[in-house]
A and B are shown apart, each in its own frame.
Chain A
Amino acid sequence: MVTTSRAWLSLHRWLRGLNQEQRSVVIAYLMIVAIVGLGSLIMPQFASPNYLLLQLMKASFLGAVAAGQMMVILTGNIDLSVSWTLNLAAVMVTSIAQGQNERLWLGVLAGLAVGLIVGLLNGLGVAYLRIPSLVLTLGMDAVVKGVTVLYTGAQPKGESPELLNLIVHHKVWGGLPSVVLVWTAISLFCFIVLHRSALGRKIYAVGNNEICAYLSGVKSHRVLISAFVLSGLMNAIAGILLVGYAGRSFNGMGEPYLLPSIAAVVIGGTNILGGSGLYMGTVAGAIIITLLESTLSIMQISQAGRNIIYGLVILGMLFLYGRGSQIRE
């Protein structure tokens, strides 16, 4: 008893010593432990390596989207064009590759080009035309949806090349899905960009105060464009991976990723107004949301109940992370 209370005390003291960014990341990872613990009470296999690896695989797709979303949110903007950018990239892969392995690279290139173009257009609109990202990316999503529907007709053509299916479903080192490796690579890249590069510093600076950053010599327009382009590319990557996962592309496949990507970033402790947040938090956010969804589905809670609990968890996490200051302060 004494030792546990002492452990709690030292944990508490350690948490207090951290700054708010770090604290929210720690809380997010503790949350993962809590969900796994809770899940294994309901279903003993929950904590088994195989099951957790499967969850990690599912989290990879969301993780890629959330990584891009985080770049944009850090600059004080938001990317609502996630769903159909992902979708169009996926459609490009299947329709260009047409199920042939030797054409896969063409499809992947076309998919990435979609992400690049949409991201570039978003970035130009926000940086130069100064259209609020909320409405610009919303409009862009509608346009990309229009392009996708026009391009595909009723249903997308073609299917995923066997090679892509193999790559996505491949397991390395006895069980680790290769998609998780892709996510790890993306994460390493994002971590270096955000926390070890000049661009990262500038992204945080622009998110905190664009005018200050600009007056200090940061070319804030380029920073904004870079963030949106990175987001577009991440969405495209997620779309390409999902084609391999599902074996095909279909219209509407990107829609389940928009709101969870924002939720993952926020649950990971990134300020929705931009300027602060650690990349490792977003990784935790993507895992939390995936685990939460699978736990609730194991408990055979209806979609209705899942929506309610999902919303309550996001609210709860927000309250845990300390809140904005009052005006009078």
Chain B
Amino acid sequence: MTTLSIADGAQWLRRFFRRNFKVGIAYVALLALLGVYAGLQPRLFTKPVITATANQGMALVLASMGQTAVVLTAGIDLSVGPIVSLSNTLASTLFPDSVPGVIGVVVLVLLVGALAGLINGLIVVYGRLQPIIVTLATASIYSGFALMLRPRPGGYVPLWYGDLLTRRVFDLIPTSLVLLAFVLIFIWAPFRRSRLGLAVYAVGSDERAAYMSGLNVNRAKVAAYVMAGFLAALAGLFLTAQTSSGDATIGAVYTLQSIGAVVLGGTSLFGGSGGVAGTIAGAFVIRIISSVLFFAGINPLSQPLFEGLVLLIAISLGAARTFTLRNRLETMR
């Protein structure tokens, strides 16, 4: 009896590790990076530095979570960055001083982000066009709107709004981490556990089978793009709190970095496998690298090279699988 349950447990453990292998790599990479960071910066485990580090990664974490939803459907969203910019410029243009006014603007900005995602999703699904080129086109459109709102950096952001989001709750936990927990518990988890969330995974692993099984393929895809737009807008709002101003080009880096974070986090670009747990680690890795390089005293001019190399090596790790395959055919999709 007992031997059986031990065997069961071992099997379960083995399956758990095999299933979460890629996510594990992302967290090992993050921990290693944090270890190096702690070695270089002894003050890492003080409240201000922890808060700063969390804040530094948060906007990318949020944007990459949205990107994950789309990548899980075997799609890609190149308009994540422009939606971040649009959200940032819209907020900095409309923000009043009063609390209810700011809340109203925040809701409006989130709705605009979701609408931008909805447009992406509807064109991809009902236009039956390729996501990469559709979102390339809408990216141009959204960045146009952002630039229209704010041709030059500037705008107004109430001081208390920035303080509220970038400091700590009860002077203990960084507000950004509380926000992340809130998003995970009240937005991502319900989505992931719903029929829609399941359908997102199903569509990504085999769209035809998902359709044959009676899942609403179209609705799942549209939902993923809406989620991406919504979370990109949230990322933009957080970024607005950090920079206290509006800039139409501020989001540009988020498109590619979010894809990088998703891949580092172990989500397959072919869809159907992965999740936000890995993405969060991936996003922090991408954001922390530059601080680590800075504290390591590396020549600032060689910093982009190291960042690129780390990114390239990290994504190449996923290729290790190729060497375990005997038949060349298995490497082709």
Contacts and interface: CB of A to CB of B under 8 A. Distances in A.
Interface in A296-313: 302-312
A130 B128 contact: no
Given A304-B145, A314-B137, A134 B259 contact: yes
A272 B76 CA distance: 13
A326 B307 CA distance: 41
Nearest to A273: B130
Contacts of A139: 260, 308, 311-312, 315-316
Contacts of A312: 137, 141
Contact of B311 (A142, A147, A153, A305): A142
Contacts of A146: 302-309
B319 interface: yes
Interface stretch (A50-58, A157-165, A258-266): A258-266
Contacts, number: 159
A308 B207 contact: no
Contact of A132 (B144, B147, B208, B269): B269
Interface in B114-159: 123, 127-130, 132-134, 136-141, 143-148, 151
B147 A130 contact: no
B301 interface: yes
Contacts of B308: 139, 141-146
Contacts of B145: 304, 308
Interface in B86-110: none
Nearest to B322: A130
Interface residues of B, number: 54
Given A210-B333, A323-B128, A143 B312 contact: yes
Contacts of A323: 127-129
A273 B141 CA distance: 23
Task: Specify which of A259, A273, A312, A327 lies most central, judged by the most chain B CB atoms within 10 Å of its CB.
Answer: A327
B39 interface: no
Given A130-B331, A150-B301, A328 B309 contact: no
Given A131-B316, A327-B211, A138 B136 contact: no
A140 interface: yes
Contact of A136 (B76, B217, B315, B328): B315
Interface in B292-333: 299, 301-309, 311-312, 315-316, 318-319, 322, 328-329, 331-333
Nearest to A317: B137
A304 B147 contact: yes
A33 to B, nearest CB: 22
A264 B329 CA distance: 33
A226 B148 CA distance: 43
B216 to A, nearest CB: 12
A311 B141 contact: yes
Nearest to A133: B269
15 contacts: A134-B132, A135-B269, A135-B315, A139-B260, A139-B315, A143-B305, A143-B308, A144-B308, A215-B329, A262-B136, A303-B147, A308-B140, A310-B144, A311-B141, A325-B128
Nearest first, the 10 closest Cβ-Cβ pairs linking A and B are A146-B305, A307-B144, A142-B308, A311-B140, A308-B144, A311-B141, A139-B312, A304-B147, A143-B308, A304-B148
Interface of A: 78, 125, 128-132, 134-136, 138-147, 149-150, 153, 210-211, 214-215, 220, 259, 262-263, 266, 272-273, 302-312, 314-315, 318-319, 323-328
